[in-house]
Structure 1
């Protein structure tokens, strides 16, 4: 009898272990942990904080986060995506700062029915690949709105009339050029010039081109760059005599890496540099809820993350946390079986488009943030609006501060 009881017990343990093994999901974060390491780590920490709050569970099943470094390379990003698609436990993929890898992979993601959550990449077409079944959800800035926002700020609040557009030659840069030009035309303004540059920009070439822009009479510079190239342009402009410098109105890509450290405080404090950000009031005047989240993050990641006002890429953490909260809410709203991740992805996708309860986040409380593209139009998969944006700058210590309205 004892032997029979032991046999039954072992069988139950084995079946339970097998069930537990099936009831597990994987989330992938495919980002640039090399060139844009600061933003990628911030996103990862935001995701992990939200997951840890619920003991790494979604819909009653275990979930783990797998990070992959594409190093800004679209081919490597594609390989990472294929790994996620081939993994039978994958529930969703998060992307990072760079838009080009995301744009390159959109067709494959939709073909595979892979849920993509975007906490940073801003190219406008990322969430608008399909107006039918759309697998991409963004909680970040949207270039369809950022271009207009930056132009409004430069012209209405700063009074500039002769801008130069300085853009990286990628899908992200071209998307911004289109939207900025449209916004400028509405004001009856033509840019002094539109300048393009490639990644890994060299200082000598930038120096000559910048001198030409200044000589042409530009009164401000619209910059669409990531950290590495943004550092080059900032250093070169700071090296000019004070009377020759012009303000920089920048996209937020420069905040994705060690921009302050690489430019140096001496050079940085010589510049008038403003850049778009999500509303950062939660960093400077946190609510009770936000303080709890930040304290939890400090317990997980230590003193390096203890003071949110010192964060180099606060948007990465805020967006990573909030979009994970929306994913978890969708998972709780529906019944996840944990047996077929592909079917569960579709269930979660539909749930994200029809969240029934408000979801508390760091940036705001989200009430039906997403909807089907047929019902809500081109912004159906955008959780933020331009009213959620603000302009930021660096203080004398290189900390991001929000410009007063």
Structure 2
């Protein structure tokens, strides 16, 4: 009899755990946890902080975030997506810093109904799939607008008369070339000169490039690239004679890795370096009740990593991760998440286009972050706009501050 009771208890225990395992939703965080880990980690921290507000649970389903390192490689990102499709508990993919994986794999993403939330990658084509239902939603800077803010800062704040574009030779860089050409040509009457560089550019190559740009009577550089190559070009510029150094107005890719550690204040102070950001920062200190609450929660969740605001290494990634997490939570609460996962994904996608209650986030309060996508409404899957884009700079302690005159626009 005792053996029968033990067997019954064992079966009940296994059944209970099996049911608990079934009631789970998995979110794959497809990001570069290798070369640009600070962006990936900050997105994860912000997104996790939002989930913690509902105890990582919706309608009795536990929500689990799985880190998937694509190392900046589009093929590896594709493999992550293929693995996701085989997971019966896979709800959606949370994107990362790099645009190329989502530009190159855009057709695969949409043809396979992969729900993708993008809290960083800025490439314009990512959210603008023209051939059917669009499954990609972004809460981040959109390069169809970023170029205008970069150009405005270069021409107005830095009084550049002949800016030169220095762009990585990827889909991201090529998209920015179009926007920047348009923005600058509208103001100056001519398109600016531009130079391409590839991933893996070394210091001696970067130095030759900045020397050649300087010989063209250029008075500032608009840079579109990430932290690894940004490090080489900034070091190269700082190594030039004082009279030959040019201001660098950069896209935000440089803030996604360990740029500020590889290029310390001693080097940064030798040049005029500014970069794009969204208009939120925990610095100089949390500014309102929500940001104070969020920061205190984050300190509890990540006690070994975060004690003060500057410990959040990529604050834009954190803020976007948090805000898109809040939007996701509201959408999930408004649908029935029981049933086949493809049905749940489809209902969630539709709900994201039809949210009608205000959602308070760090960057802004979202009244209706997304609408039904169509070619005549190219911004339908963009939660942020030009007014949400500011400019920032590194302080001596490596923290990022926003230019207050632009924040208060």
CA apart distance, 1:191: 5.2
CA apart distance, 1:311: 2.9
Q: 1:333 to 1:2 in 2, by over 3 A?
A: farther
Q: Match for residue 296 of structure 1?
A: 297
Identify the range of structure 1 (322-331 vs 391-400) with the bigger mean alpha-carbon deviation.
391-400
Contact 1:24–1:63, Cα closer than 8 Å, also in 2: yes
Normalised by the length of structure 1, the TM-score is 0.94
CA apart distance, 1:36: 0.4
Q: Match for residue 64 of structure 1?
A: 64
CA apart distance, 1:11: 7.8
Contact 1:132–1:374, Cα closer than 8 Å, also in 2: no
Q: Match for residue 202 of structure 2?
A: 202
Q: What is the aligned length?
A: 404
Identify the range of structure 1 (168-177 vs 238-247) with the bigger mean alpha-carbon deviation.
238-247
Higher helix share: 1
CA apart distance, 1:363: 1.3
Q: C-alpha distance in 2, partners of 1:319/1:276? A: 14
Q: C-alpha distance in 1, partners of 2:89/2:139? A: 24
Identify the range of structure 1 (93-102 vs 181-190) with the bigger mean alpha-carbon deviation.
181-190
Normalised by the length of structure 2, the TM-score is 0.93
Q: Match for residue 401 of structure 2?
A: 401
Q: Match for residue 53 of structure 2?
A: 53
Report Cα offsets for 1:304-326 as digits up to 9, x if no partner: 32212343311111111111111
Q: C-alpha distance in 2, partners of 1:83/1:36? A: 22
Q: C-alpha distance in 1, partners of 2:29/2:119? A: 10
Q: C-alpha distance in 2, partners of 1:311/1:51? A: 18
Contact 2:91–2:115, Cα closer than 8 Å, also in 1: yes
Q: Match for residue 171 of structure 2?
A: 171
CA apart distance, 1:125: 0.6
Q: 1:346 to 1:238 in 2, by over 3 A?
A: same
CA apart distance, 1:203: 1.2
Q: C-alpha distance in 1, partners of 2:217/2:12? A: 79
CA apart distance, 1:392: 0.2
Question: 5+ unaligned residues in a row in structure 2: which ranges?
Answer: none
Q: Match for residue 331 of structure 1?
A: 332
Q: C-alpha distance in 2, partners of 1:40/1:18? A: 31
SS across alignment from 1:299: helix
Q: Match for residue 223 of structure 1?
A: 223
Q: C-alpha distance in 1, partners of 2:54/2:82? A: 28
CA apart distance, 1:190: 3.4
Report Cα offsets for 1:282-336 as digits up to 9, x if no partner: 5434311211111111111115322123433111111111111111110001111
Q: C-alpha distance in 2, partners of 1:195/1:189? A: 20
Question: 5+ unaligned residues in a row in structure 1: which ranges?
Answer: none
Q: C-alpha distance in 1, partners of 2:374/2:387? A: 23
